[in-house]
Every structure is written in structure tokens, then in C-alpha cells.
A and B are shown apart, each in its own frame.
Chain A
Amino acid sequence: MEQQFIDYIKDRFGFTKEDFGGLVFIADEKRVYVTTEEVALEENLPGKTHSYGIVAGRIQRDGRTIKPTTNFLQVFGSRAKKNVFDVNDEEKELFIRGTCIETDSELEKGYVIVRWRNHILGCGFLKDGILQSQIPQSRIMKV
């Protein structure tokens, strides 16, 4: 799953190997984590390891699609070369509150990195002229 996720984000967002220098992706049944090589190579970690670094992607129910997380994109999204969706001040307020935005954007259908000025707000999903905020309920700004 790790490699599948890496291939996907490289293809979708134009990330390169260098963007993740010194980092390692590790998957379990539900998630793909990104952590440092030092952590991944530590041999003496105690048992009952729960998880690593930050959750970079969530494996969807179909078992194939991996959705990049808002948290991952907030850290690495500024290095992306494509499928970045710029929002204006008004749209930003809607997006961070989890609201859909109508758009005539020509970006490809699928996950996009949503950016306001130089701030990466998180993950969106673009389909049929609608940008759906993918920010989890626990993470959105309360109204």
C-alpha cells in the first residue's frame, strides 16, 4: 500500500522523490503513515506500537483508493506541482467549515490540494463542478 500511495501522490500532485527525502511511508490495514527514517529504522522500539508520524493517507472501503489527509497536505502540499486549487477569501471561509463550493475549475476530477494565499488549507475532492471539503468533522472550524 505504501508504494501505491507514493505512486498516486507523485502522479496526481507532481511530487518528486526529493520532496520526501529522509522520510518513510508505513502502512497498516487502514492508514498510510509518514515518519522519519530514524523512527522507522529504530530496532528497539517497544512492543505495542500503535502508529507512526502523521497519517498521510486513509485506505478507503474499496481497499484500493487511498485518500490523502488534510494534515499530510498541510505539511507537504506546498511542494506540489499540480492539482492545486486556489480559493478566494470567501471560498476559504466556506472550505474550512466543511462546505461545498461551486466552481468552473478545469482541474482534473479527483483529490485536490486547496490553497488560500500561501496557506495549504487541506484536501478537497473535485467532481462535476463542485469542490467538496474533505476536512474531517473533528478538524473543521466551528461556525
Chain B
Amino acid sequence: MGAKLHSMPEIPGKMKERFEAIFGRDYDKFEECCRNDYKKSFRVNTLKISVEDALELLKGNGIITKRIPWTKNGFFTDVKSVGNSFENFMGYIYIQGPASMLPAMVLDPNPGETVLDMCASPGSKTTQIAAMMKNKGVLVANESDYKRIKLLRFNNDKNGVLNSVITNLDGRDFAKSKLRFDKILLDAPCTGEGIVMREWEVIKRWNMKLVIKMCRLQKDLIASAISCLKPGGTLVYSTCTLSPEENEEVIDHALKIGGIELEDIELKGIKTRKGLTSWDRYTYNERVSKCVRVWPQDNGTEGFFVAKLKKV
């Protein structure tokens, strides 16, 4: 992150109170980080170009890049207009937040597998998963909001995603589907607290009722996801929010449903925090500490939460 400050609106009282409870002494660093300018980042779309060729092309066009330490294909750049570059026009790169690349990496999809991206639009992770699958196997990209499918379609087209089918279902209805998956990404709808620094809308929309509403939906979605995993299959649950109700509480709920185990997540090159085992009046299953919290102030990224579950 650069040092330039931008004028983010005040974080409202209740939200701030909760952030202070989550971050403790680190709260000031969090707020400072929110007000700092952030570096642009992108992922090379290996469905269309090799990393080497993309970097050479970018360099030729004056776009200096630095690899995001925890990724293979992700890069930072100081060039703000990278979104309007030739490389982006060609679909050689995909503009994506540096922490947003983590869930698909943790999912680790392989060519030939049957994979579900349950809440897919606009497709940052669908396109990343397809690239990891090398366009082989079956990738179901689902989005419940018909209006948002256009964006998903656009990105799959632009990025050359051939091995995918787009479906327009409520994720909760997948439980009825006959298809069973090797891997599922549930990048759930959430209050988006981890991206306040990029989208101030998050502040305007935020209230406790929304947190609770999201929590209920997320619990239903994770139950549905678990039911359509193959035995031994992997489910990655992720959000770009910080509220324990939308994160650890959902995983705690999943563990109560049973038939799944939480797995360790190994990430190199990024500072992460353990999942919280208690919050407010609640205590969660000790195992939720295996989940990973990515805090903005630790790495200069968006905030993220990632959990990895295996069906037994």
C-alpha cells in the first residue's frame, strides 16, 4: 500500500465498536490502512497467455509488476490504469484483489474434476478456477441473481473459460441436484466489511440486521454445499467480511451438521490470523481456529476469511 491518504467516510459507531473488539490493539492500524491508497493487483490468465509472455508484454508497455508473494500468477503494480491496458483488453490479465486470490488457491481445483462455484458473479474466482483446471473437467458457475449473470458471462467469455456451465439457481437448491462435486467454492454473499476501503457503499449498507440476515443465508448455503459434495470432497467457504457471525459462526454451524472435518490451511508469504473461537456471548468449536483470517493491516490487502472443509 502507498502512503497517500484518501477521505473514507467515518466508520459508524456500532461497526467501529465491533472492529475494535475484533482487532484489539491493532484497530488504529486497521483504520490507517483503510485510509491509505492501495496498490492495484491482477492475475495472469494462463488460459490465454503464459506468465512469462504476459510479464514481457506488460514490461514493454511500461507496466512494472511485483509478484504477490503468496501467489504464482498474481502481481501488484503501481500503474493505476492497468484496467485499461492492452493486456486487460486481451483477457491476458484479470484485475483481482490480492487476498481474493486465496480461496481458489486453497480449493486447489485440478483438471478433470467436477467443481461448483456456488455464488459466482462477477467471476473472479470462476475464471481463476477454470485456469487452474486448465479448461478440463466440469465447472458449474452458479449465480442466483439473474441480473448479475451478464457480468459472469462477460468475464467467462473474455477469459476463454470453455469448461463451464452457468446456472441460475438459488445456492440453497443445489441440495436437490443429482450432480455431486469433488470441490465446491462457497464465496458467500456477505456484508463486505473487509473491502470498506475500496467500496464505501459497504458503510452505507451496513447494519446489524444485515449481519444477522447474511449469517442465516450463509448457514443455509453451507448446508446445501455440504450435501452436494462427494465423499472425500473439499469445500472452501470464504467471505470478504470480518464479522464472526458471518465467518466462524457459519463454520461452527457446519461442524454441528456433521459429516465434515475442518482442514489446516497452509499459506506461504502472507500473514494470517487464526479463526476466533469466541465472540460476544458465544463460544465456537475449538477447531474453527483452523480457519484463516486475513486482516487488511497485516498485508495491505482486502480483509478475507477462508475455511477448508472435507466431507468424510
Contacts and interface: CB of A to CB of B under 8 A. Distances in A.
A38 B136 CA distance: 8
Contact of B154 (A50, A74, A75, A138): A138
A142 B166 CA distance: 28
Main secondary structure of the interface of A (DSSP, over half): mixed
Contacts of A23: 162
B179 A50 contact: no
Size class of the contact patch on chain B: 35 or more
Contact of B163 (A53, A75, A119, A138): A53
Interface stretch (B85-93, B232-240, B265-273): B85-93
Interface in A74-98: 74-75, 96
The winner among B162, B168, B179 for most chain A CB atoms within 10 A is B162
A69 B164 CA distance: 18
Given A46-B179, A74-B91, A54 B84 contact: no
Given A71-B158, A141-B84, A36 B163 contact: yes
Interface in A108-125: 119, 121
Size class of the contact patch on chain A: 20 to 34
Interface string A35-65: 1101100101111111111110000000000
Contacts of B84: 141-142
A45 B162 contact: no
A49 B48 CA distance: 26
Nearest to A136: B154
Nearest to A72: B157
Given A54-B156, A74-B48, A75-B48, A45 B165 contact: yes
A69 B179 contact: no
Contacts of A27: none
Nearest to A50: B166
B51 interface: no
B84 to A, nearest CB: 5
A34 interface: yes
A75 B161 CA distance: 10
B163 A50 contact: no
B160 A74 contact: yes
B157 A50 contact: no
B177 A71 contact: no
Contacts of B164: 35, 39, 52-53
Interface string B120-146: 000000000000000111111010000
The winner among B89, B174, B176 for most chain A CB atoms within 10 A is B89
B160 A50 contact: no
Nearest to A40: B165
A142 B89 CA distance: 10
B166 A44 contact: no
Contact of A96 (B89, B142, B156, B173): B89
Interface of B: 48, 84, 86, 89-91, 114, 135-140, 142, 149, 153-154, 156-158, 160-169, 173-174, 176-179
Ranked 6 nearest A-B pairs via Cβ: A44-B179, A46-B177, A44-B178, A71-B157, A50-B166, A53-B162
Given A38-B137, A46-B142, A52-B166, 9 more contacts: A35-B165, A39-B162, A39-B165, A50-B153, A52-B164, A74-B48, A74-B90, A121-B90, A138-B154
15 contacts: A36-B135, A38-B136, A38-B137, A38-B138, A39-B138, A39-B139, A39-B165, A45-B140, A46-B169, A46-B178, A48-B167, A48-B168, A51-B153, A53-B163, A96-B86
